[in-house]
Structure 1
Amino acid sequence: MRTGRLRTVPPVLWAGWVALATGAVLCVAGWYGVSGERFTARQLPYIASCTVPGAALIVAGAVLLASGRAPAATARVEELYGLLVAAGEEPGAPEPAVSAPVAVSGELRMVPGGTLWHRADCPLVAGKPEAVPVDGRLLAGGDLDPCPICEPDAADS
């Protein structure tokens, strides 16, 4: 047996459904009136009095339905976020560990034809046999940029 609380439908949603239904009825009435008339001059009153307002009511109903669900969805997201934050704040929980630097070596390496220079223990060049020591002239000339992963310093060379 479900013991959850009774869900209520906000008045904005009811208004949206009523506007959609009324707009659909007016569009059908306008179509029926236009289809029974042979001359354009006699069809215009049906278009002006039924079809155009019916289309406007359909659009208004769609807007009301879309905006009527937003507060309920926002409230639910806030409730779930509160539960998530409360679950993460358990007393006695260890603090997250500070991550160690990616690379600390003072030796600088580069891959021939590459555009970056790295520390020797950078994951991008570690274990690559083609990685060679950096030429000081390339660093001085500005031809190589420092690696954004290991963040080498030019003073290391």
Structure 2
Amino acid sequence: MRTGRLRSVHPVLWAGWAALAAGAVLCVLGWYGVSGERYAERQLPYLASCTIPGAALIIAGAILLTHARGALAAARVEELHSLLVAAEPADAEDPDGAAAMPLAVSGDLLMVPGGTLWHRADCPLVAGKVEAVPVDAKLLAGGELGPCPICDPAEDTD
């Protein structure tokens, strides 16, 4: 799937870069022609034949590059999605049901200063963080901290 999508994106990228280069060359030629003429009526043909089409090519090239980059990003997202969908669920590998066990079972509650959640001490979100401190009872009683949805310490306190 990836190679088919990328094959359709690369020509658009090349066309965008070619349009930008051609537009820049036309603008330079138009500028050179205009700079060599003293009277405005002699400058107009250079504007009409070089500078205006050059600016249009630069705009078209920018649009093509933007479209191609977006399509490339979409192709990568589709590839990642297909990898996620193709992955086997963890339950299929573990017939004992150990995957249904909670992630954290410690009774000690921790928080990160400035955070909005409180966690069990062995929660993967705070495990190994030196800035994690024991939960302040005032913050807990005031409702400023909520339970972590990963380790769900609310089960112990209810």
TM range (shorter): 0.5 to 0.7
Q: How large is the Cα RMSD of the aligned pairs?
A: 3.5
Which residue number in structure 2 is paired with residue 108 of structure 1?
none
Matches within 5 A, 1:76-115: 76-87=76-87, 89-90=89-90, 91-93=92-94, 94-95=99-100, 97=102
Q: CA deviation at 1:26?
A: 1.1
User: Do residues 39 (structure 1) and 39 (structure 2) align?
Assistant: yes
Which residue number in structure 1 is paired with residue 65 of structure 2?
65
SS of aligned partner of 2:93: coil
Bigger Rg, structure 1 or 2: 1
Pick closer, same or farther for the CA change 1:150–1:51 going to 2, 3 Å: closer
Pick closer, same or farther for the CA change 1:99–1:148 going to 2, 3 Å: farther
Which residue number in structure 1 is paired with residue 143 of structure 2?
147
Q: 1:97 corresponds to which letter in structure 2?
A: P
More helix by share: 2
CA distance in 2, matches of 1:49, 1:96: 73
CA distance in 2, matches of 1:98, 1:24: 59
Q: CA deviation at 1:148?
A: 3.7
Which residue number in structure 1 is paired with residue 74 of structure 2?
74
CA distance in 2, matches of 1:53, 1:70: 26
Gaps of 5+ in 2: 109-133, 148-158
Q: How many residues align?
A: 112
Which residue number in structure 2 is paired with residue 128 of structure 1?
none
Q: Give the percent of matched residue pairs that are identical in Structure 1 and Structure 2.
A: 54
CA distance in 2, matches of 1:98, 1:60: 53
